[in-house]
Structure 1
Amino acid sequence: MSNPAPFTCRFAPSPNGRLHLGHAFSALVNVEAARRMGGTFLLRMEDIDTTRCRPEYARGILDDLAWLGIFPDGPVRWQSDHFGDYAAAIARLEAMGLVYPAFESRSQIAGAVIGLESATGRPAPRDPDGAPLNPFPRAAMSDAARAALRDQGAPFVVRLDMAASIAAVRELGGGPLSWEEAQGVPEGPRKVVEADAARWGDVVLARKDVPTSYHLSVVVDDAAQGITHVIRGMDLYHATSVHVLLQRLLGLPTPAYHHHRLILDDSGYKLSKSNSATSLNALRAAGATPQDVLLRLSPQPTPST
């Protein structure tokens, strides 16, 4: 019987702003789990958005982590260095007939959703994050017409044909689509969670100007870095269904998962850069010490999901 893979986890911030307390908590949960398990803690910079991600933010992230005493156990993986890997994954899915170029703009999609809601008097179907599902099915345009538009240079996104992908997984075999979710702490007892990727509809896997998306790059990177335990916030719990689906389609291993509690603001909302959450840099400037932050964020067991 072979030995299990060593415990390897990662923290994967996007350098489009400075870290806030929510980021610090996730990094701390990861590094503390790696220490308890005698494992490896890695760092990944999710910098696929070359417009918003900046070198100064990346330097700030590294500086904030070092200030907290958090250091990776290996080189940083920069997603912008691996666009070829993501393009190869897209090509593999395309060869399987599971992706297609979609040319509808965001304004067209928004207009179609409003029209649908007006006609039916009901809210349009939405994904687990609350975003409306794409109202333009693959069958609305022939593959030949899509190829012609693509050859003409029309802007597009690459969407996953969800129904065809789920059918392909059944044909591939390997049992039900699911993952193991660690309870309480990252190395805690696990329960099997059935994936429900269909709720996400035909998700975007790449854009014309960026040959990947979060969903695609995260599964490619986790496999490339040998991640055995994905430890991240509860806000990504439902997205795991899409990730497990892509792992099965691409023949990649499925890690164990642990979705930890979120750090909330005074109004009960998740801290985020878009909501101008106070950064660690600002706390440092106000006189906070690493000990102040670590005490405030001392990891607590996540309630069972």
Structure 2
Amino acid sequence: MSILYRGRIAPTPTGYIHLGHARTFWIAQQRAVGGVLVLRNEDLDRQRCKPEFAAAMLEDLRWFGLDWQEGPDVGGPFAPYTQSERLPLYEDALRRLLAMGLAYACTCSRKDLARIAAPHAEDDDEPVYDNHCRPAELEPQDFAAGVNYRFRIPDGEVLQFTDGNLGSQRFIGGEDFGDFLIWRKDCLPSYQLACVVDDAAMQITEVVRGRDLLKSTARQILLQQALGLPTPAYFHTELVLDDHGERLAKRHDALALRTLRAQGISPQQLIDSFMK
């Protein structure tokens, strides 16, 4: 008996959905034909996420022609589908990692972290942490509020996976990425931890997202292994670039779906542009 395909789209309501998001989400929908597509509202950035952006996100994606079977607006068996409503699940995962001695407190400030070389613009990835706060020996510890926590990676371990679009991928712990943040002192999980917990809880079988998140996939596989969670398949898409060869960001208002819609451009015209 084949396993039902379960894909997801996971926008963050920190601005308006742009053409790059639309292309990735459209690919996700194509791959979910015959299965289930989940929409997850990743609204953990308290400063930048706005209710008006969340409402616009749903409206713009519906206009574009996306159709999800589970989400914050339609419900589903794994509700809630808004991350800010799922905080106890993330804290439980953190407590498990701490109890296993796989995470440690980090007191580095932004100023402290500025001493680490800037990430490469190619993937906009976080720099390799210099282990300033890593203890010589990790022991089980209790959760404490108001503390940053990092996941201790196995240095030198090779992480390999086959991407559904980009083929074989290989990363080395301690070289391509270092100990990464999994919990912030404002009592919120990092993207890495929240994503792993939710993908498992929502039984996602394939993650479709941009190629700039390849290293995040390596990190998340480590978390999945540590927490005893299944690893879904991955499909990383090429990025949509602007006229200067830079990847699109939410500052590209001219390429926001609602801007293009106001200009009279149809969803089909946008989809046709993806096919060129």
**Distance in 2 between residues matched to 1:241 and 1:89, nearest whole Å:** 18
Give CA deviations for 1:244-293 in whole Å, capped at 9, x if unaligned: 11100011100111111111100111101145562111111122122222
Structure 2 residue runs without a partner (length 5+): 73-80
- Letter of the 2:41 counterpart: M
Q: In the alignment, what sits opposite 2:172?
A: 196
Number of equivalent positions: 264
For residues 49-128 of structure 1, the aligned pairs below 5 Å read 49-76=45-72, 77-110=81-114, 112-113=115-116, 124=117
Match of 2:35 among 19, 30, 39: 39
Match of 1:213 among 190, 197, 208: 190
Indicate yes or no: 2:229 matched with 1:252: yes
The verdict on how the C-alpha distance between 1:216 and 1:42 changes in structure 2, with shifts beyond 3 A counting, is: same
The verdict on how the C-alpha distance between 1:17 and 1:129 changes in structure 2, with shifts beyond 3 A counting, is: closer
Q: In the alignment, what sits opposite 1:265?
A: 242
Following superposition, the deviation at residue 125 of structure 1 comes to 8.7
Match of 1:163 among 151, 154, 168: 154
Q: In the alignment, what sits opposite 2:21?
A: 23
**Normalising by structure 2, what TM-score?**
0.85
Following superposition, the deviation at residue 137 of structure 1 comes to 2.6
SS in structure 2 at match of 1:238: helix
The verdict on how the C-alpha distance between 1:201 and 1:275 changes in structure 2, with shifts beyond 3 A counting, is: farther
SS in structure 1 at match of 2:235: strand
Match of 1:182 among 132, 142, 164: 164
Instruction: Supply the RMSD in Å over aligned alpha carbons.
Output: 2.8
Bigger-Rg structure (1/2): 1
**Distance in 2 between residues matched to 1:129 and 1:69, nearest whole Å:** 30
**Normalising by structure 1, what TM-score?**
0.78
Match of 1:238 among 169, 191, 215: 215
Following superposition, the deviation at residue 54 of structure 1 comes to 1.1
**Distance in 1 between residues matched to 2:250 and 2:242, nearest whole Å:** 12
**Distance in 2 between residues matched to 1:294 and 1:212, nearest whole Å:** 35
Q: In the alignment, what sits opposite 1:188?
A: none
**Distance in 2 between residues matched to 1:141 and 1:245, nearest whole Å:** 20
Structure 1 residue runs without a partner (length 5+): 114-123, 168-175, 185-190, 301-305
Write 1 or 2 for the structure with the bigger share of helix. 1
Q: Is the 8 A contact 2:224 2:230 kept in 1?
A: yes
Indicate yes or no: 2:250 matched with 1:280: no
Percent identity over paired residues: 36
